[in-house]
Structure 1
Amino acid sequence: MYAQEVDTYIAELEKEKRIPLDQIRTLVHEVVPEVVESIKWRMPTFSLPGGGDIIHMAAFKKHIGLYPLPKAIEEFQEALAPYHTSKGAIQFPLGSALPLDVIERIIQFRLNVLLEKKH
């Protein structure tokens, strides 16, 4: 489900920031068709219906931030080595192609973690 607040967040950005955010958004919807969008902590957030945030994303001056929670960053540490990461964040420099295959695997990982918690 596409949320108007997320549409507005993305639409207000410069093209170099809109394109990667749209790519991530599309990817989330492909992996999790039932995903619910909202704005949390002033960032587009993708959640499972009934609760559980999959990821958050945001545009900054020099990078796109992806926030999949610490466990996902640990799990994909090797694949994320070319990027600046912290405990809960990944920074993708503006002007660089996003590693969509890695992001897709992170989304799937987060989805699996949330589904395991439900059972």
Structure 2
Amino acid sequence: MPKESKASQALDIDNYIAIFPGNVQAILKKIRQTIRQAAPEAKEMISYRMPAFKQNGILVYFAAWENHIGLYPPISGNKTIEKCLARYRGPKGNLQFPLNEPIPYELIEKIVRLRVRQDTEKTAAQRKKRPKAE
């Protein structure tokens, strides 16, 4: 895995992915594609030194580590998805997909679709709370 300094200097997701060995690059590219497919309106960015996708707010971050791919923030709000995530929960509820196991891309897609819905609902609720201009 790359040294922290290289990953922290990535200016965009392409730079971030390029830092890693080929096998990890392939996984990161597929995760990126999976997220794009599930959230086509989301914008790519680097935030907290990790690739992130933002619509109104941040939908998800992902990062490669020595033995796993991390997906953040912790996911809640759908009992079926939460049940599927139990085996991947790491410290603080963030997800850790081991590199020595198949990456659950379909599950990642479901997570992102859930986060898009939650983001849209949160934004709509915030708009309702704002006072109307007169």
**TM-superposed deviation, 1:85:** 2.7
TM-score relative to the length of structure 2: 0.76
1:79 is the counterpart of 2:72 = no
**TM-superposed deviation, 1:84:** 3.8
**TM-superposed deviation, 1:100:** 1.3
**Are the counterparts in 1 of residues 97 and 103 from structure 2 also a CA contact under 8 Å?**
yes
1:1-119 equivalences in 2 (<5 Å): 5-48=12-55, 51-71=56-76, 76-119=81-124
**Are the counterparts in 2 of residues 70 and 87 from structure 1 also a CA contact under 8 Å?**
no
- Provide the rounded CA distance (Å) in 2 between the counterparts of 1:110 and 1:75: 14
Greater strand share, structure number: 1
Number of aligned positions between the proteins: 114
- Provide the rounded CA distance (Å) in 1 between the counterparts of 2:77 and 2:108: 10
Q: Hey, which bits of structure 1, 4+ residues long, moved more than 4 A?
A: 72-75
Kindly report the root-mean-square deviation, in angstroms, between the aligned alpha carbons of the 2 structures: 2.0
**TM-superposed deviation, 1:74:** 6.8
- Provide the rounded CA distance (Å) in 2 between the counterparts of 1:60 and 1:52: 24
Greater helix share, structure number: 2
Greater gyration radius? 2
TM-score relative to the length of structure 1: 0.84
Output one character per residue of 1:31-82: Cα deviation in whole Å (capped at 9) or x when no partner.
Answer: 111210111111000011xx30010000001110011334268763310233
- Provide the rounded CA distance (Å) in 2 between the counterparts of 1:72 and 1:109: 8
Identity level (%) = 35
